[in-house]
Amino acid sequence: MIKKFLLAIFAITQAILAAEPQGGKLLQVVETFRHGARYRIYNSSYPDNDQINYGELTAEGQRMHYVLGVTLQQKYADSLKFPQTYDHTFIYAKSTNVNRTIMSAYSQLAGMFPLNKGLSVENINNQFLIPPFDPAPVNVDEPKYALAGGQQPIPIHVKEQKDEKQLLGYMDACKNAAQWSKDNKDDSDWNRIKGEFQPLIDKLANDKYFQLPANPDLDIISQLVDTLIAIKWAGDATKNNEIAAHVEGFLMPLDEMMNPANFNVMWVQMNLLYTIQLHLALFKTKQQKQTSVTPFFNELLAYFNNYLNATDSNPYFKWIMLSAHDTTIAMVAQGLNLTSWECMEQVKNQTFPSNPSSPCIYTYPGFASNIIFELYEDANKKPYVKALYNGTAQPLCGTADTFCYLDQFAQSISYSIVSDFDKECDNPIYVSSPDSSSTPTWAIVVIVVVSVLFVGALGYIFFQRKKILSLQSLDKNSNYSQI
């Protein structure tokens, strides 16, 4: 019975249902993804003397994104005319301001825009190719390409974390977010769910191998899982076998972990706890769910509209790359109604009802997880949207269909976001929009008159000063350092 029930969940997440419109033409792709494998970020769990390179991308992580880049370039080579030589009108790449996400974006771009496809300098006179430097710069042995091997440099845009609303709307860019997370800890839902996992928590706490504190909380267990995943991906067989002796299923490949038959395996349950904890902290209340994803969805609709409004003389990007985090993927997935802590608690209890139009992704957004939005137009040039999670099309807009017309998509999204992100967040820069009718006419007249007098006075001072300066020829010592 339980097995049958879980198979139903599995079938839903795998489902390809209603046929999409005939003759659909792909117009644009917006992808967002988590960085690849990284070194561990927590000290508080599973002590280990061999801790290096905190949070940095590993070689495995670079390779994951390189492979994803090659895969995506090939997949979209025909349908989107994805070029192998970088074209600044084709792609816009953006990353959060974190080493591992910037490096993941570079790695993926290296797969999309490979060696031997960069710009050529073959027939150009050497005098145009050398930088000014004394003594003469070295002679580079690359006869054909601008860069050795035809590498391709590609710009990746980054904002400071406090300004990164689109990809980190649940962090520094939202002033209230930290307090919201704090409020969720230790409330009745948190404690009930902790209770549901108590046998697992006790088992880990009682195993001296992990050196956990007494009565570990969901946070502590999540940090342990995070650390164990980082260690697993480092690929040291001896170490991994050592851990596998304490965690049943630790070495299980990913597709086996998603097999319902393995639902009660210890490592699968640890990952479920880890996923629920993420949502309970960041995307628990309606306010958190809706506020966090608002900038992302607004930007997404703007990308679509900019593309649809573009003309030959004023083109818009066919590809938007957004390099981000597990929490970003979780944020977007919950915003699309593909997951929530509520549905995951039901999955945990094995009471989740099978319904193809409301799925429940309960696996953690692991390294290089990705969500790809595709914008199409049908035979009547009506735009529609698809969303792929790890390459698999997901049900959209409250239906079992794996596509949704853009107008309906925008409508669905409008119910999943807030009208004013900065206001919800209580952001310091937030200024309530001015009501123009409340500015009396006399005030405008006064402002105009004062401004005219002020500009006049400035002009007079400037004219007098210039006369003096030119007399003294002080401009000989002009300082250009500020230009």
Ligand X SMILES: *[C@@H]1O[C@H](CO)[C@@H](O)[C@H](O)[C@H]1NC(C)=O
- Among 7, 17, 67, 308, which residue interacts with ligand X (rule: CB under 6 A)? 308
- Asked whether the beta carbons of 209 and 246 are under 8 A apart, the reply is yes
Pick from 145, 138, 105, 150: which is nearest to 124 by CA? 145
Backbone angles phi, psi at 302, to 5 degrees: -65, -40
- Closer CB to ligand X, 146 or 308, in the complex: 308
Half-sphere exposure of 169 (CA within 13 A, CB side): 29
Residue 393 found at the interface with ligand X (CB under 6 A): no
At CA 139, angle to CA 135 and CA 144, rounded to 5? 145
Residue 408 found at the interface with ligand X (CB under 6 A): no
- Closer CB to ligand X, 131 or 199, in the complex: 199
- Closer CB to ligand X, 216 or 366, in the complex: 366
Q: Cβ of residue 367: shortest distance to ligand X, in angstroms? A: 6
Residue 418 found at the interface with ligand X (CB under 6 A): no
| Ranges within 340-359 binding ligand X (CB under 6 A) | 345-346, 349, 351
User: What CA dihedral angle connects 282, 285, 288 and 291, to 10 degrees?
Assistant: 160
Strands (DSSP E) found in 326-445:
370-377, 383-389, 392-393, 404-405
| Ranges within 66-125 binding ligand X (CB under 6 A) | 99
Backbone angles phi, psi at 414, to 5 degrees: -60, -25
How far is the C-alpha of 441 from the C-alpha of 418, rounded, in Å? 34
Interaction pattern, residues 223-252, with ligand X; x per rule: CB under 6 A: ------------------------------
Stretch that binds ligand X, among 75-83, 410-418, 447-455, 472-480 (CB under 6 A): 410-418
State the DSSP string of 291-346. HHHHHHHHHHHHHHHHHHH--SSS---SEEEEEE-HHHHHHHHHHTTS--HHHHHH
- Asked whether the beta carbons of 43 and 50 are under 8 A apart, the reply is no
Q: How many CB atoms lie within 10 A of CB 411?
A: 12
- Closer CB to ligand X, 240 or 416, in the complex: 416
What separation in angstroms does the CA of 426 have from each of 166, 171, 271, 429?
17, 13, 34, 9
Residue 326 found at the interface with ligand X (CB under 6 A): no
- Among 181, 262, 357, 412, which residue interacts with ligand X (rule: CB under 6 A)? 412
Stretch that binds ligand X, among 109-117, 165-173, 303-311, 456-464 (CB under 6 A): 303-311
How far is the C-alpha of 371 from the C-alpha of 361, rounded, in Å? 13
- Asked whether the beta carbons of 357 and 399 are under 8 A apart, the reply is yes
- Among 153, 213, 315, 398, which residue interacts with ligand X (rule: CB under 6 A)? 398
Residue 196 found at the interface with ligand X (CB under 6 A): yes
Pick from 415, 358, 412, 359: which is nearest to 385 by CA? 412
| Ranges within 38-67 binding ligand X (CB under 6 A) | 43, 51, 54-55
Residue 286 found at the interface with ligand X (CB under 6 A): no
- Closer CB to ligand X, 266 or 410, in the complex: 410
Question: Six-digit token pair at 439?
Answer: 């500015």
- Closer CB to ligand X, 150 or 290, in the complex: 290
- Closer CB to ligand X, 117 or 162, in the complex: 162
Q: Cβ of residue 73: shortest distance to ligand X, in angstroms? A: 20
- Among 25, 192, 286, 466, which residue interacts with ligand X (rule: CB under 6 A)? 192
- Among 133, 415, 463, 480, which residue interacts with ligand X (rule: CB under 6 A)? 415
Question: Six-digit token pair at 394?
Answer: 């997901």
Q: Cβ of residue 69: shortest distance to ligand X, in angstroms? A: 16
Question: Six-digit token pair at 399?
Answer: 């239906």
| Ranges within 357-386 binding ligand X (CB under 6 A) | 361, 363-369
How far is the C-alpha of 61 from the C-alpha of 196, rounded, in Å? 34
Closest residue to ligand X using C-beta atoms:
366
Q: Cβ of residue 266: shortest distance to ligand X, in angstroms? A: 17
Site size for ligand X (CB under 6 A): 33
Q: Cβ of residue 219: shortest distance to ligand X, in angstroms? A: 15
**Site for ligand X, rule CB under 6 A:** 43, 51, 54-55, 99, 192, 196, 254, 305, 308-309, 336-337, 345-346, 349, 351, 361, 363-369, 389-390, 397-398, 412-413, 415-416
